[in-house]
Structure 1
């Protein structure tokens, strides 16, 4: 508990554990706030908290998840992620080597994403009042001129693209949490999407909507966009990129892949005359090689998402009342 008291132990934790993991000149000042260079571009600012269990899972950890989740939120506004804050909430008794491993993963992920950790905070709570490590992050990015990406811009005839396989992260978390084996390793798809978005905007600056379908999965994301824009969304079920491993795991667990979380995928609503170019740009990037078109916006059933089934029928894809998988990010 002394490490959260603000005294010598707190200072040692910052100076000898966190600062080396995140080290840069701005953070080295260790002030109460960071002074950042000004820019004539518009700023995007986002914050998120991460409480995933277990702390380490196939394909990642809470450390890189915290970085990727926030930089992706910035990228979904078209911003170029630049700076992060980092708040660690530690439970009394968590081994410092575990905290160090999470911090190293966080720092490495930040460097891969091209962002700088410029300020942070640490708190310690009593044993039994946390779950090892919780992380809060905030991010700042720069939005290029002429980019206007928001859910209200979805319009009839927009083509809906997804950058790759869905449901992977949630199934990876559930498999390790519950000790389940499906005959093949399922690893989280957590990844920073800033570069993928930059490639997309290079061929189509007028992308209407971008979202990363995290909690609640693709279904929840599409419903939020449909509700904000007042358009209907019509999907083709056979076009949804659900890997066999995810489909089999979901069938075993009684889950719908459309509602399972992702951490390294994006959904894009693009004008129909630019859809082919956008799809090609996504597929040219390593994180978008499996990108596909999954449907389009329609004037019918405004605010509702429907899917054409493989049997020739149509089903409503509604927003779930609660999450299928707790604590996946």
Structure 2
């Protein structure tokens, strides 16, 4: 292969075949993908299925704690897992800019393959397009995931009930602040790294330990505050959370203070919100804390029966403020 992509690599001809064989097949190799049919034949799925798709346009492509490749796997794996499902298969589609270094593409593919192995999923079908210089920013990736739902009823943003406990699986804001620091070369954020991680195994342990989970959501774009607003609106409930209980790393607090950002609205890529009956909260917390991705899990609040759709934060000094939904984007291109 050449050192960088040419438009021919997206033509569907020999150049495309060489790219697929020498890069993607080499990293993603498995019997389902290697058939190279127009779709993957999945014969071993049973019962209700969860399916999710997402597109990743993050810049820079590589950042402390991950890359666009690992993020594309983790993000879709986590979305499927939030429905109480075991992710099994992924598709991936690449939109690549002419002139992209093949070494860069190779590195991203290797990151994706490693992330898929760690999550226990297989990439079984995909597509590659190469567009002229300037038509995209280096690389965009779309991944679609599918998995088997193993709990009934499946968790949903519509299922929060007054009296439920609100849990978070770890510290907030790491991913969003990391992307900003990497993009702008902010030296004072060198101690911050993305939390990007696959949560499917931890989620399965939480459901097994708690027995009943009403809501699972990952607070990605818009962060904790926006995601809680979505849940409160969908379920027709209020949610009360306590600032002193919300875990945020000191480096993130300091960085947000300097930059005028609120960690409650920053994106996370390896955290989940879990809402479940009060009596099951301690079992769920114990299961989270037993996972390397949930060591800092905490109970942060309670679902109430106040004004539907309201999310209220009790501050450290005893005051209270409403947390509205993020109107736009604090930081663009974070996933």
Bigger drift between 184-193 and 131-140 goes to 184-193
Match of 2:41 in 1: 35
Q: CA deviation at 1:184?
A: 4.5
- Give matches, 1:227-306, under 5 Å: 227-306=233-312
Match of 1:131 in 2: 137
Distance across 2 between alignment mates of 1:286 and 1:310: 28
Q: CA deviation at 1:16?
A: 1.0
User: Deviations for 1:179-207, whole angstroms, at most 9, x for unmatched residues?
Assistant: 10226521110000001101101112310
Q: CA deviation at 1:145?
A: 4.3
User: Deviations for 1:224-283, whole angstroms, at most 9, x for unmatched residues?
Assistant: 000000000001011111111001111111110000000000000010011111111111
- Give matches, 1:46-125, under 5 Å: 46-125=52-131
Alpha-carbon spacing, 1:15–1:252, altered in 2? closer, same or farther (3 Å): same
Q: CA deviation at 1:146?
A: 2.4
Q: Which of the numbers 211, 214, 228 marks the counterpart of 1:208?
A: 214
Match of 1:197 in 2: 203
Q: CA deviation at 1:40?
A: 2.7
Contact conserved, 2:8 with 2:15, CA < 8 A, in 1? yes
Contact conserved, 2:189 with 2:255, CA < 8 A, in 1? no
Distance across 2 between alignment mates of 1:245 and 1:99: 32
Q: CA deviation at 1:41?
A: 2.2
Contact conserved, 1:184 with 1:245, CA < 8 A, in 2? no
Alignment of 1:317 with 2:323, yes or no, is: yes
TM-score, scaled to structure 2 = 0.97
Give 5+ residue unaligned stretches, structure 2. 1-6
Alignment of 1:169 with 2:163, yes or no, is: no
Distance across 1 between alignment mates of 2:253 and 2:154: 35
Q: CA deviation at 1:80?
A: 0.3
User: Deviations for 1:23-81, whole angstroms, at most 9, x for unmatched residues?
Assistant: 00110000100000143321111100000000000010000000000000000001000
Q: Which runs of 4+ in 1 moved over 3 A?
A: none
Distance across 1 between alignment mates of 2:134 and 2:44: 43
Distance across 2 between alignment mates of 1:37 and 1:171: 42
Distance across 2 between alignment mates of 1:85 and 1:56: 21
TM-score, scaled to structure 1 = 0.98
- The alignment of Structure 1 onto Structure 2 pairs a total of residues equal to 329
Distance across 2 between alignment mates of 1:175 and 1:183: 6
Contact conserved, 2:85 with 2:151, CA < 8 A, in 1? no
User: Aligned-residue CA RMSD in angstroms?
Assistant: 0.9
Contact conserved, 2:84 with 2:151, CA < 8 A, in 1? no
Contact conserved, 1:55 with 1:62, CA < 8 A, in 2? yes
